[in-house]
Structure 1
Amino acid sequence: MNIGKTQTLKVSEKNTSGYILVDDQEEKAFLPKIFVRDEMQEGDEIEVFVYQDDDKLKATTEKPLAEVGEFAVMSCVQSLPSGAFMDWGIIKDLFIPYKQQKAKIVEGKRYLVYVYVDEPTGLITGTTKFKRNPQYEDLPFKKGDRVSLILMGEGELGWNVIINKEYIGLIYASDVYKKLYPLSEETGYIKTIREDGKIDVSLQPEGYANIDEFQKIILEKLEGNYGLLYVSDKSTPAEIKDELQMSKKNFKKAIGGLYKDKKIEILDDKIRLL
């Protein structure tokens, strides 16, 4: 049984309260009837999330905010001297022991939490303590891949981020073109997978294949501003960043294509929609 993971199990038996599910090794987990819409029969299969409750394995069709090995932003529903209970997105809350709290967790506030199985106890546990910019091997990414991001916080080099709920990466400050907020979600792109196993991410796609996205932004901005934008290829990177939230490099590629397609006119201090 893969504790803390979503998996497909088979109905072994049923009673008035719910169903006994089993895996290939005949390990059992109980699924309460309240999580099943239609009546199931012995031998039926169902996809469930398996967790522990009172030293027993239980299953639910609810989707947790994070499975074992993943990060998620969770709200604290109760804080005690021994630890904190977090809203996990399922019927059971996730427990974070006091020793696994980077700083004392306060009820009602949101935190970035990593879910793991505590080896001494074998229990699914949460922690707010994790290493920044770890080194990875055999990453399932390549340069340019689109990924989902959770913003951790800003450091000396830039913003630490969670990639696809599983990996920690970095957006360099020079690649940030808009206001960012801790614990918010963004779309990003794999920029570099370094030899030391660290991951660099960008908020914007790179290369000519993605210039159409920037062209669309520029055209929409022009249409909403009476056909004029007071930035051009002679504008500073800061001016372009403030106006369009993109790098000067991507801006120049985009307006070059728009000019070639006769959609805009490029003047000394502005661009004009044709």
Structure 2
Amino acid sequence: MLQAGYYHTLKVNRISDYGLYLADEEGNEVLLPNRYVSLNDAVGDTKRVFVYHDSENRLIATTEHPLATADQAAYLEVIDKNIHGAFLAWGITAKDLFVPIANQPFRMEVGRSYVVYVYRDPVSGRVTGSARLNRFISNETITVRPHEAVDVLVAARFAAGFRVIVNNRHWGVLYDNQLFRPVAIGDRMTAYVSRITPDRRIDVSLQQQGLDEVKAAADRLLALLGEGGGRLALSDRSTPEAIAAATGMSKKTFKKALGYLMSHGQACTEGETIKATERL
């Protein structure tokens, strides 16, 4: 079934003056306009497209990639608004994401960006945005586990760190003492679940834990050595600030990574410099 807000892999069913008509396995068709068609396209070819409703409520396909599909959160800029709601840049040339007034806990302003949740309206089937995040983000049933790698979107600042959206489903917390590089609202990144508290709070870290953390940090250090021609102006005596600025690691993690490389014969120290060995 063709649903707006999602990617579909469809077959070219027929060619018209307006573009390609793509069909799913049930024979449901959607138009891929000429601006997305190449001379090499032919009946029977398969195309991966994103489907949405146009201004006349018709399903349309595009090969462009939206900044978020249905069931995802994103940080989007308001480019227009009227008495009914706001229109956010969505990454599709011919379509903006509409956020109705009812879905705005505060009035959105043109030129500002907001974290919104993209969803498919169950009545109209149209893709809509909402800044009322708690309607969609919940920790009632946790679907992640400690040490698991997760996708996080930085959603809000609070006194001790940032609130993040985990895997587009849950609220999580990223504390300031876990930050070793700049982070801003709207940033999307991979993080790791450090713990889940009895009251269902998900704490995340930007660094892996245990041996995986050490190996990942060692790989990062090797990459930095490669970029620096085999040398890096750091040592285990460098300040935490200098280490964080150069590597994005805490000093504790950096020392573990350096120790790992040295024990495997991949690096050595010369004064205040790390040097890659011939094994690198």
Q: Please give the range of the TM-score, normalised by the shorter of the 2 chains.
A: 0.7 to 0.9
Following superposition, the deviation at residue 203 of structure 1 comes to: 0.8
Write the distance in 2 (CA, Å) between the matches of 1:147 and 1:71.
Answer: 14
Following superposition, the deviation at residue 154 of structure 1 comes to: 1.8
Provide the residue aligned with 1:243 in structure 2: 242
Match status 1:62 vs 2:64: yes
User: In terms of mean alpha carbon deviation, does 207-216 or 13-22 score higher?
Assistant: 207-216
Provide the residue aligned with 2:195 in structure 1: 192
Provide the residue aligned with 1:234 in structure 2: none
| Partner SS state of residue 89, structure 1 | strand
Normalization by structure 1: what TM-score? Answer: 0.78
Given the alignment, which residue of 93, 101, 104 partners 1:101? 104
Given the alignment, which residue of 135, 139, 148 partners 1:135? 139
What whole-Å deviation, never above 9, does each CA across 1:206-248 have from its counterpart, x for those lacking one? 21233244345498599443x65644xxxxxxx52x2323345
Normalization by structure 2: what TM-score? Answer: 0.76
Following superposition, the deviation at residue 67 of structure 1 comes to: 0.7
| Partner SS state of residue 210, structure 1 | helix
Matched residue type, 2:182? K
Write the distance in 1 (CA, Å) between the matches of 2:152 and 2:65.
Answer: 19
| Partner SS state of residue 78, structure 2 | strand
**What are the within-5 Å matches in structure 2 for residues 34-49 of structure 1?**
34-49=35-50
Provide the residue aligned with 2:78 in structure 1: 76
Following superposition, the deviation at residue 151 of structure 1 comes to: 1.6
- Residue pair 1:52, 1:123 contacting (<8 A) in 2 also: yes
- Identity score, percent: 30
Gap runs ≥5 in structure 2: 276-280
- Residue pair 1:36, 1:61 contacting (<8 A) in 2 also: no
User: In terms of mean alpha carbon deviation, does 211-220 or 49-58 score higher?
Assistant: 211-220
Matched residue type, 1:65? L
- Residue pair 1:135, 1:196 contacting (<8 A) in 2 also: no
User: In terms of mean alpha carbon deviation, does 89-98 or 19-28 score higher?
Assistant: 19-28
| Partner SS state of residue 65, structure 1 | coil
Provide the residue aligned with 1:263 in structure 2: 268
Provide the residue aligned with 1:119 in structure 2: 122
Write the distance in 2 (CA, Å) between the matches of 1:203 and 1:112.
Answer: 20
Provide the residue aligned with 1:159 in structure 2: 162
Write the distance in 2 (CA, Å) between the matches of 1:167 and 1:135.
Answer: 5
Following superposition, the deviation at residue 85 of structure 1 comes to: 0.9
Write the distance in 1 (CA, Å) between the matches of 2:11 and 2:221.
Answer: 50
Provide the residue aligned with 1:87 in structure 2: 89
Write the distance in 2 (CA, Å) between the matches of 1:189 and 1:80.
Answer: 40
| Partner SS state of residue 90, structure 2 | coil
| Partner SS state of residue 162, structure 1 | strand
Residue 206 and residue 41 in structure 1: after superposition, are their counterparts in 2 closer, same or farther (change >3 A)? Answer: same
Write the distance in 1 (CA, Å) between the matches of 2:172 and 2:235.
Answer: 38
Write the distance in 2 (CA, Å) between the matches of 1:263 and 1:33.
Answer: 59
Match status 1:14 vs 2:19: no
- Residue pair 1:144, 1:191 contacting (<8 A) in 2 also: yes
Provide the residue aligned with 1:202 in structure 2: 205
Write the distance in 2 (CA, Å) between the matches of 1:272 and 1:92.
Answer: 53
Matched residue type, 2:269? I
Following superposition, the deviation at residue 69 of structure 1 comes to: 0.3
Following superposition, the deviation at residue 96 of structure 1 comes to: 0.7
Following superposition, the deviation at residue 39 of structure 1 comes to: 4.8
Aligned residues: 260
Provide the residue aligned with 2:278 in structure 1: none
Following superposition, the deviation at residue 252 of structure 1 comes to: 4.4
Provide the residue aligned with 1:149 in structure 2: 152
